[in-house]
Amino acid sequence: MGSSLPPESALAARLARALKALDEAACGLAQTDAQGKLLYVNATLCRWLGRDADELVGRVRLQELLTMGGRIFHQTHWTPLLQMQGSISEVKLELVHRDGQRIPTVMNAVRREEEGVVVHHIAIYIARDRDAYERELVLARKRLEAAVAQARRLEDEAKDRALFAEQMIGIVSHDLRNPLSTIHTGAQLLARFDPAPQQQRVIERIQRAGERAHRLIGDLLDFTQARLGGGVSVSPRPMALHAQVAEAVEELRLAFLGRTLRHVQEGAGDVQADPDRIVQLLGNLVGNAMAYGRPDAPVTVRSLCARDRFILQVHNEGEPIPEELRARLFEPLSRGHSDASATRSVGLGLYIVSEIARAHGGQVQVESSAAAGTTFSVDVPQPLQAAGPAAGDPDPA
């Protein structure tokens, strides 16, 4: 068996190993007196600072190795906290290397009294990764705050532009009615002087153009009222739905000469609604069907009355509405097809339809397929006392 060291030698060896382990620890170790003067520094901390132990121990105070902000913190927080609570945990401070480079660290300290002398034991950890992470968090927060502020500015600008545009639409639309009324009145007067057939056709074109412009202005004014005033105004009163729809269909036939427009009615026809708005709604739906439906196929208007509701439907054949467009079909300035032909509307008609339906407490829906065509349905609930007799009511489905 090999010889063993005497007990004193073994103890000395273990002590030497322990001191070496402390000197080469993965963290910086230091001891200071109550005023911060360094009493001990390990080799790790010396390497971080680029200094020798002889330069530091007994010559330098811990606070002198800190940045200016760290020195202030040491005086105002470090020393008082150690005196009051005896320890400090995870204090982030920056040490200064011999060459002036800043070293981000996290420090823990414990206050001890040894043989009547106050000593501070300090463990120091490099915190470059943590510092970089925290700086990135701060930068990310600043970027987020800047993005939020920019988004709010853009939102405010968009609201201002939208409000200005809506106000301008209302002003322009209102001011256009006077010259259009003059044109319409002039065309009516010319028609009384027994014009030649060719002149009569020109007068009729002027009248039809004026009527289209008048309807467009009405849509623009309704759009402005709906966006600025909270919705389209209606004045419901008792009305004969089928008779009102039949009269509107007859007028629309004159507006769409050469096209087939049919009217189908079901159930008793007494309802509560705004007659003018119902005619406007119907005109917009029929105009939409004529614009996008197949020219050689009929457009069918159905008016259905039940005990608790009435339904208006407008059906046309032709290319179906793409699925991706249906979700925003009733939004202002949108169309049911991607075709932006100049012969078609600016995209307010269906929005006005939905607003009129909503003002009556109802809703509008659309079904569209290549096989069945396109059907817009306006469903308006009714008070039971305003509806016709229960017997013979149609099934709207």
Percentage of residues in the chain having pLDDT higher than 90: 47
Extract the tokens encoding 301.
Answer: 């208007």
Residue with tokens 């196929």: 297
Can you tell me the mean pLDDT for 294-311? 94
Give the least confident one: 101-115, 138-152, 177-191.
177-191
Give yes or no for residue 313 having a pLDDT over 80: yes
pLDDT band for position 396 (cuts 50, 70, 90): very low
Task: Please indicate whether residue 9 or residue 241 has the higher confidence score (pLDDT).
Answer: 241
pLDDT band for position 64 (cuts 50, 70, 90): very high
Predicted local distance difference test score (pLDDT) of residue 386: 45
pLDDT band for position 344 (cuts 50, 70, 90): very low
pLDDT band for position 339 (cuts 50, 70, 90): low
Predicted local distance difference test score (pLDDT) of residue 28: 93
Can you tell me the mean pLDDT for 86-94? 91
Can you tell me the mean pLDDT for 112-129? 89
Give yes or no for residue 22 having a pLDDT over 50: yes
Nearest in space to 243 (alpha carbons), one of 271, 283, 215, 284: 271
Percentage of residues in the chain having pLDDT higher than 70: 86
Give yes or no for residue 394 having a pLDDT over 70: no
Predicted local distance difference test score (pLDDT) of residue 387: 41
Give yes or no for residue 303 having a pLDDT over 80: yes
- The 8-class DSSP code of residue 219 comes to H
Is the overall model pTM greater than 0.75, yes or no? Answer: no
165: Cβ contacts below 8 Å, ≥ 6 apart: none
Give yes or no for residue 10 having a pLDDT over 60: yes
Predicted local distance difference test score (pLDDT) of residue 60: 94
C-alpha triplet 100, 105, 106: angle, nearest 5°? 155
Q: Provide the β-strand partners of residue 66.
A: 95
Q: Please say whether the beta carbons of 173 and 224 come within 8 A.
A: yes
Report in angstroms the alpha-carbon separations of 104 from 109, 132, 334: 16, 9, 58
Can you tell me the mean pLDDT for 131-148? 81
Q: What is the mean pLDDT of the chain?
A: 84
Give yes or no for residue 244 having a pLDDT over 90: yes
Can you tell me the mean pLDDT for 355-379? 94
Can you tell me the mean pLDDT for 123-129? 86
Predicted local distance difference test score (pLDDT) of residue 58: 94
